Structure 1
Amino acid sequence: MKSSASKIQRRAVNGVFLLNKPLGISSNAALQKVRWLYRAQKAGHTGALDPLASGLLPICLGEATKFSHFLLDSVKRYQTTIQLGHSTTTGDVEGEQLLEQAVPELTEELIEAVLAQFVGDIQQVPPMYSALKKDGRPLYELARKGIEIEREARPVTIYAIELLSFTADSITLDITCSKGTYIRVLGEDIAKALGTYGHLTYLHRIKTGHFDLIPSYTIEYLESLSEQEREALLLPVYAPVDHFPKVQVPEGRSEYFSRGMESNIEHTAEAQVLVFDGEKCLGLAEITDKKRLVPKRVLNL
């Protein structure tokens, strides 16, 4: 029996879409929606946001997925509000209330002194409600069954924490951090250092690598556009690494590069360069100290 809805015809779409992810859906659900709207054959996101988090989620389509790991590994920036006074099972408003303790009198001096303790290289224990796996099973599946296992602390880096505002029982922060940082855990730890418990009520990502929240676009806006207008929103395939040095492929060597073959090049050594043939990006390469252009990631455009 045929489906009443015709099967979507996937196509080769290459580029980066800057999504402003809404609250209430997972990063994967948002990714699949964007992929469906573009009818893209291949897509990947660049660092998951919790369903109760919103903000910048760059989506790599087609050949751009070859550069997505550079954004996964990049510095992130968030704005968040920590509600003080009690903790929850999940570290945010979705969880059930756990421990409760009175909030001490807050002053700007007290908060700033506590925040300073968390700037730099720190150790962080991942939460049970996370996508990390134990024996192939996500920790959140175990947590939902009331099972808690020991987790090893992991090194993360907090580059900056700015106090944006505070009330008698909440603080709002601007945080710049390394990949792998759990803002929920950081919020809990800051609350404990203030002498109470806490959980996140707001989390919004405003920067991923060199990409800012503005300009980014909502799913609703994307839905309102024609296919041609949607394609106009796409950044180039190489946008995740646009800050890398750029070189022109040696004359007559474009096809060889695209086959993954090395070439001689008159250029100083570079660990990573974007290689172009005119305005067409061929891929990513290394230039050795022997002036050899070595393809690392070849684009099929």
Structure 2
Amino acid sequence: MLDVRRLQVLRAVVTSGTVTAAAAHLGYTPSAVSQQMAALEKQAGTALLERVGRGVRPTAAGLLLTEHAALISSAVAQAETALADLRAGRIGSLSVRYFATAGSTLVAPALARLRAEHPGVRVDLELADPEDPFQEVVRGRADLAVVVLRARDRVGDGFRLVHLLDDPYAAVLPLGHPLADKEVIDLNELSGEQWVGSEPPGPCLEPVIDSCAAAGFSPDFVIQSEDYATAQGFVAAGLGVGLMPRLGLRGRHPGVVIRPVRNPEPVRVISAVARETALDQPALRGLLTALQDAAATDPLDGPSAD
């Protein structure tokens, strides 16, 4: 295999026309340059230089390798430039996973800011599996995921977990419901109701089930919808009540009222999970900061209670 460093020495000799001049440009001794050329000729299996007066000129093989040395030098320079651009966040790509209700309130404004600050960075954005929220990050298929974690979930070493916000659940009642006039509802007051479910099995349903259990009952789900808008429609039609996270209630149905609950208040914890090694990228650090800022702008201050 040809030595790349020796190819660059050959290029310097051919460009300079003499071993002495090449040595001066490279900061070597003429003897060191001659040794490098002898070693390269041995690797190539043929003569690369020939004497012409006091200088040298390349043989056909020497000219061929000099041309390739120039290409290698150009490729290395391009690689160094690309690496500098990547490290500065001017180019690159990020793979991001998120869950549906975080999309418009957290991810969208964060990505808009990322695009303004790092316009050359491409983002691969996909919905995460709600039952296995950060496995795409664990498996190296994603750099960052916006997730709802359960209390028992552990991200382990090599991952950064950043809290974004606590998203409390509120009671969603049809207009005219006997509890609609209350400012705050004790959770056990919903124990005898028929319920409209709005969460799939997984980390978003567990706060509802666990909080109801703490209040002494299990919710009687008579209708199941994994879409908040549709679930609100069922509630508005008088088919049941529900608990839905405030982040999912920004678009309130006109036929429902929303009331906070207590004793206890279900809360889902929304976080960002990233691989520590991926945080070397300025664009990813910028996205993480943008997500924190989006969460700090009070995205829960959306739906009116009346």
- Tell whether the structures are fold-level matches, with TM greater than 0.5: no
Q: How high is the TM-score relative to the length of structure 1?
A: 0.27
> Structure 2 length normalisation: TM-score?
0.27
